[in-house]
């Protein structure tokens, strides 16, 4: 990196800050219609035996039955530890992989098994921002041809109109439009990520899948890029699927958050429900593990839930609830039955047999009656299992109100 | 923990003398384009059993200075000058052979990425035992036993079996535990952890930070933890050193720095990370621009091109004159490198309302009382 580029880069970055005062992602519109609907999505990667005859000996259950909706012009955050399947989910939605089962509906159109020819128009609607700005840009192409390539491929503009549009885009993401003929290595990490964002914006997509867009950047640069993404959302009304492991950034960016563990969504809800009213022990543990700067000011840290061990292998996940091997409140029923994703609030679903606020988890499994089993998970001949436990994307109008032990209604 | 240092930092230094004392450390790399001044006049002390957190962005010189302490610039074309005194011995004066005998025994290091820091062809046990045998003339068997003990101590289940595994058979968190076992097997007085948890998930990060704190108490080692995460610093460090462009820009007890920072760069670091309880409607306040080039750093204060407060300094001082690292308004233990005459007032009125509106008013008074 030469000194010249850095100094020339500065005015651009400074210029972006006061440009738009967007506060986009902070609140979700009350009843936005879903642009993306994912229903029971599964992705199993085959594990093949070594040697000449490569038989399939198992499957990595990377994503195993995930359902959610993303509304127009809002953001859904997908958080979880590495290996939980959040990046795979993102790649399934952009159809970089073909799902094993389940359905992806984009604006009502089923794109689950769309063929290559059908995918091309889809690429104009769904674009992706990658994590690593160093490997996601072709080092042998200029910024102009990287950002302009989608326009040429989709024949949106005649060749001589591409350059002005590229320069316009570079300006939108806070780069100097004069720099279109430079190569990626001449830019710093934050600026490269801006190039990646410009490329994703070229075709004016309706949905952006951002896979850890800021985690490779320095702290001071992260905030610049997060603000840029928010400005883009306000200005162009793009919906985001925001994949990240940083809980604080997801909270800042997304009005709705899904927490994943080992290929499944364990808790999904609006920001309030997840961050101040978490009912799943894994969400609670994740939140308590985040080191807090403010503890220096307020004195003393909050009690941390220590999770033992590591995430189990997705090739051979634990029976029943996948979190039970590390769960502080697991009981016998957890090993026998997988907890259904119960709706417990207007916009709050949790998959746990013992959902409750931290330290207030119920002693008896709440789901036993629904599953038709007794409290230890053995089949109960007297009980009749509930039939409507099929997970739906989106939220129902009625839910189980845990505080009042009744059915809540919208 | 972070709360203890405020009262002791002033008195303890004079009574016992620090374990590690770095004076005017400079690390310069001559290159074709000119000299890269990676570290420029770094000075700090660290006592046994204490933790120093070094914070800064990539390229601020935090890793380079810790590598200088380990003597890892020997044999390269780096120009290292100044003084690094560890338990009374200047590490820059001794021969390469003497340094090799100290490395691992008196000072050891944990690296960010344990997969690339370990040799893929040797078992984990082999590598840990090797670290022990370098400094102790014992048989392979005893060294391996010692490796099993250490693996057990850092919380690896069934250590007598896992000792024969290769690094790729360990998960990320377990690899970092094995690295810690390797670093502590000779009971060094000083442990340098270079971004020990950056590559790990939050729940595993919490486990590793807990482990480091437990072991530090047990072994009474001094720890330097290098990180860019102020949350980790708040949790681990007694003292904090903020670095920018190869220089220390702020230094003091952890609580003091995090509640009363006096340098605009530290303000920027605090305001650019969202908080788990903050107002989500508010925009993040990033530091504008990019980190400077070390080949040709800005004149005067290296932070001035990115500083939002330089218009509050009379004249053109920020651009023309390098501020000294001097005590600010809050006592001799808190030094900062900034020309601003009244940083505390600016922080309270302009910065704090942006990053922590709920602390405005309350925090200032509490802090003042504790200092008296």
- Give ipTM to 2 decimals: 0.79
Q: Does residue A270 fall inside a structural domain?
A: no
Give the residue from A229, A260, A291 where a domain finishes. Answer: A260
The domain of A16 spans: 3-48+58-260
Q: Does residue B40 fall inside a structural domain?
A: no
Q: Does residue A287 share a domain with residue A250?
A: no
**B250 φ, ψ to 5°?**
-155, 140
Chain B residues close to A13, C-beta within 8 Å: 288-290
Q: Does residue A163 fall inside a structural domain?
A: yes
Q: Does residue A90 fall inside a structural domain?
A: yes
Q: Does residue A221 share a domain with residue A92?
A: yes
Q: Does residue A53 fall inside a structural domain?
A: no
For each of chain A's 410 residues, which pLDDT tens digit applies? 444 444 444 444 444 333 334 444 445 455 678 999 999 999 999 988 888 888 888 899 999 999 999 999 999 999 988 888 999 999 999 999 999 999 999 999 999 999 988 899 999 999 999 988 888 999 999 999 999 999 999 998 998 999 999 999 999 998 999 999 999 998 888 899 999 999 999 999 999 999 999 888 888 888 889 999 999 999 999 999 999 988 889 999 999 999 999 999 999 999 999 999 999 999 999 988 888 777 666 655 667 787 877 788 888 899 999 999 999 888 989 998 899 898 898 899 999 999 988 888 888 888 887 787 887 777 777 766 665 666 778 888 888 888 777 777 76
Q: Does residue A36 share a domain with residue A133?
A: yes
Evaluate whether B344 touches B329 at the Cβ level (below 8 Å): yes
For each of chain B's 372 residues, which pLDDT tens digit applies? 444 443 333 333 344 678 999 999 999 999 888 899 999 999 999 999 999 999 988 888 888 999 999 999 988 889 999 999 999 899 999 999 999 999 999 999 998 888 888 999 999 999 999 999 999 999 999 999 999 999 998 888 889 999 999 999 888 888 999 999 999 999 999 999 998 888 788 888 888 898 899 899 988 999 999 988 888 898 889 999 999 999 999 999 998 898 889 999 999 888 888 877 777 777 888 888 888 888 888 889 999 999 988 888 888 889 888 999 999 888 888 999 999 888 888 888 888 877 766 666 544 444 333 333
Q: Does residue A91 fall inside a structural domain?
A: yes
Instruction: Give the count of Cβ contacts less than 8 A between chain A and B.
Output: 167
**Could you tell me which residues come within 8 angstroms of residue B57 by beta carbon, excluding any fewer than 6 positions away?**
A218, A219, A220, B228, B244, B291
Q: Does residue B82 fall inside a structural domain?
A: no
Give the residue from A227, A260, A293 where a domain finishes. Answer: A260
Is the minimum CB–CB distance between A17 and chain B shorter than 8 Å? yes
Q: Does residue A339 share a domain with residue A238?
A: no
Is the minimum CB–CB distance between A222 and chain B shorter than 8 Å? yes
Q: Does residue B67 fall inside a structural domain?
A: no
CA distance B250 to B301: 13
Angstroms from A100 CA to nearest CA on chain B: 27
Is the minimum CB–CB distance between A357 and chain B shorter than 8 Å? no
Evaluate whether B86 touches B45 at the Cβ level (below 8 Å): no
**B235 φ, ψ to 5°?**
-80, -40
User: Between A189-201 and A159-172, two packed helices, what is the crossing angle to 10 degrees?
Assistant: 130
Q: Is B229 in contact with A230 (Cβ distance < 8 A)?
A: no
What's the CATH code of the domain at A216? Answer: 3.40.50.300
Q: Does residue A272 fall inside a structural domain?
A: no
The domain of B310 spans: 263-371
Number of domains composing chain B: 1
Q: Does residue A115 fall inside a structural domain?
A: yes
Give the residue from A193, A228, A260 where a domain finishes. Answer: A260
Q: Does residue A286 share a domain with residue A229?
A: no
Q: Does residue A31 fall inside a structural domain?
A: yes
Number of domains composing chain A: 2
Q: Does residue B303 fall inside a structural domain?
A: yes
Q: Does residue A145 share a domain with residue A222?
A: yes
CA distance A378 to A375: 8
Q: Does residue B225 fall inside a structural domain?
A: no
Q: Does residue A219 share a domain with residue A287?
A: no
CA distance B267 to B257: 10
Q: Does residue A153 share a domain with residue A112?
A: yes
Residue with tokens 């972070």: B2
Angstroms from B177 CA to nearest CA on chain A: 12
Which among B228, B290, B295 has CB closest to A188? B290
Which among A26, A188, A190 has CB closest to B281? A26
Between strands A398-401 and A239-243, the pairing is unpaired
Interface of A with B in 366-405 (CB under 8 A): none
Of residues A304, A402, A410, the one with CA closest to residue A353: A402
């Amino acid at each position: 990196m030469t000194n010249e580029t850095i100094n020339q880069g500065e005015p651009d970055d400074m210029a972006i800050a006061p440009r738009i005062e967007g506060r986009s992602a902070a609140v979700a519109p009350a009843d936005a219609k879903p642009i993306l609907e994912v229903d029971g999505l599964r992705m199993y990667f085959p594990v093949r035996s070594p040697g000449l005859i490569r038989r399939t000996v198992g499957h990595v259950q990377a994503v195993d039955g995930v359902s959610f909706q993303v509304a127009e012009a809002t953001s859904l955050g997908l958080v979880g530890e590495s290996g939980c399947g959040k990046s795979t989910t993102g790649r399934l939605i952009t159809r970089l992989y073909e799902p094993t089962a389940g359905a992806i509906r984009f604006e009502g159109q089923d794109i689950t098994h769309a063929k290559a020819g059908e995918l091309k128009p889809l690429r104009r609607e769904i674009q992706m921002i990658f994590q690593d700005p160093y490997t996601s840009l072709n080092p042998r192409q200029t910024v102009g041809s990287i950002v302009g390539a989608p326009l040429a491929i989709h024949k949106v503009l005649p060749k001589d109109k591409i350059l002005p549009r590229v320069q316009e885009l570079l300006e939108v993401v806070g780069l100097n439009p004069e720099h279109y003929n430079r190569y990626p290595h001449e830019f710093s990490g934050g600026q490269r990520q801006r190039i990646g964002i410009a490329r994703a914006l070229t075709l004016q997509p309706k949905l952006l899948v951002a896979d850890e867009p800021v985690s490779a950047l320095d702290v001071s640069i992260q905030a610049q890029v997060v603000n840029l993404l928010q400005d883009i959302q306000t200005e162009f009304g793009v919906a985001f699927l925001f994949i990240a492991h940083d809980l604080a950034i997801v909270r800042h960016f997304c009005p709705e958050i899904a927490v994943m563990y080992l290929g499944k969504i364990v808790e999904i809800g609006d920001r309030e429900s997840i961050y101040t009213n978490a009912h799943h022990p894994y969400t609670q543990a994740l939140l308590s593990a985040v080191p807090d700067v403010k503890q220096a000011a307020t004195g003393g840290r909050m009690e941390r839930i220590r999770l033992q061990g590591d995430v189990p292998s997705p090739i051979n996940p634990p029976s029943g609830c996948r979190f039970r091997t590390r769960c502080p409140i697991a009981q016998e029923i957890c090993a026998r039955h997988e907890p259904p994703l119960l709706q417990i609030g207007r916009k709050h679903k949790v998959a746990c047999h013992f959902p409750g606020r931290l330290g207030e988890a119920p002693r008896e499994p709440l789901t036993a009656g629904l599953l038709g089993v007794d409290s230890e998970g053995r089949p109960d001949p007297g009980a009749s299992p509930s039939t409507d436990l099929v997970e739906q994307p989106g939220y129902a109008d009625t839910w189980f109100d845990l505080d009042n032990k009744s059915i809540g209604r919208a | 923990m972070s709360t203890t240092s405020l009262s002791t930092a002033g008195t303890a230094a004079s009574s016992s003398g620090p374990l590690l004392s770095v004076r005017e450390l400079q690390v310069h790399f001559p290159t074709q384009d000119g000299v890269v001044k990676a570290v420029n006049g770094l000075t700090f002390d660290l006592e046994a059993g204490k933790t120093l957190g070094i914070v800064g962005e990539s390229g601020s010189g935090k890793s380079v200075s810790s590598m200088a302490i380990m003597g890892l610039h020997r044999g390269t074309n780096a120009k290292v000058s100044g003084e690094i005194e560890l338990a009374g011995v200047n590490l820059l004066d001794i021969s390469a052979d003497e340094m090799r005998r100290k490395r691992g025994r008196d000072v050891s290091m944990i690296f960010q990425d344990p997969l690339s820091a370990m040799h893929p062809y040797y078992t984990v046990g082999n590598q840990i035992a090797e670290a022990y045998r370098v400094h102790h003339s014992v048989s392979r068997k005893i060294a391996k036993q010692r490796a099993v003990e250490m693996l057990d101590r850092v919380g690896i289940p069934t250590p007598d079996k896992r000792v024969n595994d290769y690094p790729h058979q360990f998960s990320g968190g377990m690899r970092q535990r094995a690295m810690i076992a390797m670093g502590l097997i000779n009971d060094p007085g000083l442990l340098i952890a270079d971004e020990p948890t950056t590559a790990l998930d939050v729940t595993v990060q919490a486990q590793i930070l807990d482990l480091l704190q437990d072991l530090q108490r047990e072994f009474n080692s001094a720890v330097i933890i290098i990180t860019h995460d102020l949350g980790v610093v708040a949790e681990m460090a007694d003292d904090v050193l903020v670095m920018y462009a190869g220089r220390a820009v702020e230094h003091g007890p952890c609580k003091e720095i995090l509640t009363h920072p006096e340098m605009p760069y530290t303000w920027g670091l605090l305001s650019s990370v969202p908080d788990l309880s903050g107002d989500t409607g508010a925009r993040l306040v990033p530091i504008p621009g990019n980190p400077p080039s070390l080949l040709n750093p800005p004149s005067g204060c290296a932070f001035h091109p990115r500083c939002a407060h330089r218009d509050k300094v009379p004249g053109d001082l920020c651009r023309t004159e390098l501020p000294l690292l001097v005590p600010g308004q809050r006592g001799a233990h808190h030094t900062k490198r900034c020309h601003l005459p009244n940083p505390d007032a600016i922080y309270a009125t302009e910065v704090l309302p942006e990053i922590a509106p709920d602390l405005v008013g309350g925090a200032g008074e509490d802090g003042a009382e504790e200092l008296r």
